[in-house]
Amino acid sequence: MEGCLACDLSEGRRELPGGTVYSGGYWLVEPCVGPLSVGTLIVKPRRHITHIWELNAEEAAELGPLLVRVSAVINELTQPDQVYACLWSHADWEPGHIHFVLQPVWKEQQTEHPLPGPMLQVEMFRANQAPERALAEDFAERARALMHQG
């Protein structure tokens, strides 16, 4: 759908730094374009759907194993203490193209951000520091290689 950020990124109407990391039958994996840590990946359905309940059986079947695989790749490349997996897709109180955010988190981040979980994300979005492009592109390339080995 034109004008949807998720569709515009995957259909090439907006630039995606680092490019598509993995293209599955029903899901795409891309670097996160928001101000979260390098290593954060997005898992989103190819179809423009705005609610989890709209997933069909094939989309649902591919999702679980893909979330596991993508978090394993993030773990291998960034050695985090945790990989968050969350889905809000509700900007300005409007349902948007659903996308899981898979974000690596390290306990060292507590020196800058005392609270983990959603508070960490709130603070990172408020700070609004885009990931360094060269690092993000390098991560995307290594993640793509690992995703294609599996």
What residues line the site for Zn ion (CB under 5 A)?
Answer: 1, 4, 6-7, 48, 97
| Least separation in angstroms between CB 10 and Zn ion | 8
Give the residue with the Cβ less far from Zn ion, 22 or 139: 22
| Least separation in angstroms between CB 23 and Zn ion | 16
* Separation between Cα atoms, residue 105 and residue 96, nearest integer Å: 25
| Least separation in angstroms between CB 133 and Zn ion | 24
| Least separation in angstroms between CB 97 and Zn ion | 3
Give the residue with the Cβ less far from Zn ion, 20 or 82: 20
User: Three-class SS of residue 145?
Assistant: helix
Give the residue with the Cβ less far from Zn ion, 89 or 121: 89
Q: What type of residue sits at position 70?
A: V
Give the residue with the Cβ less far from Zn ion, 7 or 77: 7
* Separation between Cα atoms, residue 46 and residue 39, nearest integer Å: 21
Give buried/exposed letters for 10-20 (b at 16+ CB in 10 A, else e): beeeeebebeb
* Separation between Cα atoms, residue 113 and residue 150, nearest integer Å: 35
Q: Which residues contact 137 (CB under 8 A, 6 or more apart)?
A: 17, 18
